[in-house]
Amino acid sequence: MALLLRILKRLGLIILAFLVIYAVGRPIQIWLDGFYTGDRGPYLQMMSSDAVTLRWQSEYKFAGVVKYGINPEQLNKIQREPDITEEHEIRLTGLKPATKYFYRVGDGENDSIKGIDFWFKTSPQIKSNSDKAVRFWVTGDQGYPNIIQDQVRDAMLGWVNQNPRSTNSSPTVDFWLTTGDNAYRSGTNEQFQAGFFEPYKSILRNTPVWPIYGNHDARRWVFFDIFTFPTKAESGGVASGSEHYYSFDYANIHFVVLDTEGSDLDVDGEMLSWLKKDLQATRQQWLIVFSHHPPYTKGSHNSDNKGDSGGRLITVRENILPMLEEAGVDVVLSGHSHMYERSDLMNCHYDNSSTFTASMVREKSKNNKYKKKENYISSNSGTIYAVIGSSSKVDHGPLDHPAMPYALQEAGSMIFDVKQNQLKAYFINKSGQVKDRFEIIKGVKGGVESKGCN
Ligand SMILES: [Fe+2]
């Protein structure tokens, strides 16, 4: 008996020692994971029609300088950083809309990064009747640095080059949005370098990026240090006061980015209170919303399962979807589930998949062309939901959610083309094939009308 007590005491001490080591060591490890030393970027943040934030990191400290101008041979404007640092961040203001600028970054003496490849194009003016052709790229859960990530990226670049918007427009995309989980496994600064900044280096120097906060990004504390997001409506919309959630406008499109990982999802919470105001204020032609956790999925996550991701998928569906549909959201894009799934034009499905009925589908189209009666955002006029979570990894799942009949266990990403009253979307797999597509046209007689839920 005495021997047993001694063994138990010793075991207890060992467990206690482990707990103490973990309690002290874990925060230290998380803190250390916040560091990355070396060159990074440049990358473009918070693009608007008259400003952009340029960020980059250098191995050594200096006060950063950006030289820029419309003529690549004559960069006649200059902006200096006030402080000496390795993590450089300079906002260029007073720019002209829809204009291509060339730039160099460095310490002012030696432009460490320069060349004809370094340019950006400012957003066009925000106008609900804009006639600009807008093309943007959407990836999801693309943070594994691997061959699939490279293939998906190159497949998009190849497809875009073969399918230019018009003979006069640039073959690149105007900007890039992700549906979250940007650096696996834990969103450390080193993982962001390997899984995000290195593989997309040549895209990031020209293409403004809006990465969404996923659960893997939230495992460390670097996401909001690495990226700069609007808090004061710097790129349009209503000021959110938080980098976690915000909105921005591009031509005739209003984008809303939600944080379904770290923010309060209560209807009366800060994020959804802001969302209500933002949705009421917009007068754009199109409304597109991003949420990492999908309301409908039967992929590598299950939106019927209360235990899945702390119930966030269900809360998104119950608390957020009614608000979005009431406001007239056209498209909701999510990630988290590592495959591709898409709905028809639908609304009013806020419960488990067993409650889904055919009457919730507002339009089912054989050729995937959907028509809406109103020319602008219109309450409860049907929404397309898509899960894009396979841009670097494909997982398994039944793919049988009744609301998501178009489902593929394939790696890929999406290209969206929006011009005036027409939106076209393409899911491009890692071989460059379009494996799903849909189109929404607004202002069509006989198109889907506003109809709320009973
Ligand atoms: Fe996720």
Using the mean position of ligand 1's atoms as its centre, give its distance from the Cα of residue 181 in Å: 5
The Å distance, Cα 229 to ligand 1 centre, comes to 20
pLDDT in tens, 174-197: 999 999 999 998 999 999 999 999
**pLDDT value of residue 113:** 66
pLDDT at residue 22, rounded to an integer:
67
100-106/65-69 β-pairing: antiparallel
Determine contact, residues 120/52, Cβ cutoff 8 Å: yes
Task: State in Å: Cα 390 to ligand 1 middle.
Answer: 11
56-60, 162-166, 290-294: the lowest-pLDDT one: 162-166
Domain boundaries, the chain: 40-121, 133-442
CA of 316 to the centre of ligand 1 (A): 14
pTM, rounded to two decimals: 0.94
What pLDDT is stored for residue 191 in this prediction? Answer: 95
Q: Which residues crowd ion ligand 1, with CB under 5 Å?
A: 181, 214-215, 336
Angstrom distance (rounded) from CA 220 to CA 75: 39
The residues facing 423 across adjacent strands are 418, 440
Residue 355: pLDDT band (50, 70, 90) is very high
Read off the tokens for 100. Answer: 């291509």
For the cut 80, the answer to whether the pLDDT of residue 286 exceeds it is: yes
Taking the centre of ligand 1 as the mean of its atom positions, its distance from the CA of residue 339, in whole angstroms, is: 12
Contact yes or no for 292/261 (Cβ under 8 A): yes
- Can you give the pLDDT at residue 154? 98
Q: What is the pLDDT of residues 374-405, one digit of tens each?
A: 999 999 999 999 999 999 999 999 999 999 99
Ligand 1 centre to CA of 397 (Å) is 15
| Whole-number pLDDT of residue 9 | 80
Is residue 84 a contact partner of residue 57, using CB atoms and an 8 Å limit?
no
Compute the average pLDDT of residues 226-240. 98
Express each pLDDT in 136-169 by its tens digit: 999 999 999 999 999 999 999 999 999 998 766 6
Mind listing the pLDDT tens digit for each residue in 433-451? 999 999 999 999 999 999 9
Q: How far is the CA of 55 from the centre of ligand 1 (A)?
A: 26
Q: For residue 429, how far is its CA from the centre of ligand 1 (angstroms)?
A: 20
pLDDT for res 75: 92
Question: Tokens 């039967």 correspond to what residue?
Answer: 298
Cβ-proximal residues to 392 (8 Å cutoff; 6+ apart), any chain: 141, 142, 143, 144, 145, 146, 148, 149, 152, 184, 195, 411
CATH match for 40-121 among 3.40.50.920, 2.60.40.10, 2.40.50.180, 2.60.120.560: 2.60.40.10
Q: Report how far ligand 1's centroid is from the alpha carbon of 294 (Å).
A: 10
Q: For 107-123, write each residue's pLDDT tens digit.
A: 878 766 666 689 999 99
CATH fold of 133-442 reads: Purple Acid Phosphatase; chain A, domain 2 (3.60.21)
Ligand 1 centroid from CA 141, angstroms: 7
Give 38 Cα–ligand 1 centroid separation in angstroms: 28
Q: What tokens appear for 390 in the block?
A: 């396979």
User: What is residue 168's predicted lDDT score, i.e. its pLDDT?
Assistant: 63
State in Å, rounded, how far the first CA of the chain is from the last one.
70
Q: Who has greater pLDDT, 22 or 348?
A: 348
Distance, in Å, from the CA atom of 144 to the CA atom of 167, rounded to the nearest integer, reads: 35
Average pLDDT, integer, range 290-314? 98
Q: Ligand 1 center to residue 250 CA distance, Å?
A: 26
- The C-alpha atoms of residue 373 and residue 447 are separated, in whole angstroms, by 4
